[in-house]
A = this chain, B = another copy of it.
């Protein structure tokens, strides 16, 4: 029921990447009551239609947001990595409009919505960081819309791989050389609006062209330049430079 482990370190790191905060802000975050929870793959953390009373952050592992059509087709609209908020939108929206599901074995920190609202109310800098986080999420949605709506399958998948590469590096996971991507090809397809069969063929093409190499669920980025240009990837939409680096 208290702060330890990845929380509040990851929380503070996330907030610091979104706004300048001071020691009082850090103290307020550190004293935010939180509860660790570990769940197995496929566990639902949130279901469409629910009225949640808690909000969580991914500490270890991966999760994803999904929406389903009435006839059962799935679209994965976000992939959550360590440091990402699971359901910040529930801070002020009464009803969940999508599901969140664990992709891997997952450790999360949970806070009550009330205490998080209080934190946002009392600490303007933290509030701003949370808001910025929501805005960046919006920006990523816009880029995904462009990706799915207007890029052919090879560029679309290459773009997704580029995004993971950058985001995982920014989160301190993965290296220049590559990263773990614990998604099945069916899930990849659901994230970019393709079928798993086509994902398989396109990935093999990217591999044959020497842009990536795959080993199980590990992606080696063998030619970052060409991978980016195949995707027409530009990381601006991730707003990583949102604030100036904190002074020494």
Contact = CB atoms under 8 A, between A and B. Distances in A.
Interface of A: 48-49, 65, 67-71, 73-75, 77, 89, 91-95, 97-98, 121, 124, 128, 131-132, 134-139, 141-146, 148-151, 155, 190, 192-193, 232, 234, 236-237, 239, 241-242
B141 A95 contact: no
Contacts of A73: 150-151
Nearest to A128: B92
A142 B139 contact: no
A8 to B, nearest CB: 22
A91 B68 CA distance: 32
B145 A141 contact: yes
Contacts of A241: 94
Given A150-B193, A151-B73, A242 B93 contact: yes
13 contacts: A65-B142, A67-B142, A73-B150, A77-B141, A77-B145, A89-B135, A89-B138, A93-B136, A93-B242, A97-B139, A98-B139, A98-B142, A138-B138
A142 B77 contact: yes
A65 B146 CA distance: 11
B134 A134 contact: yes
B93 A239 contact: yes
A131 B146 CA distance: 24
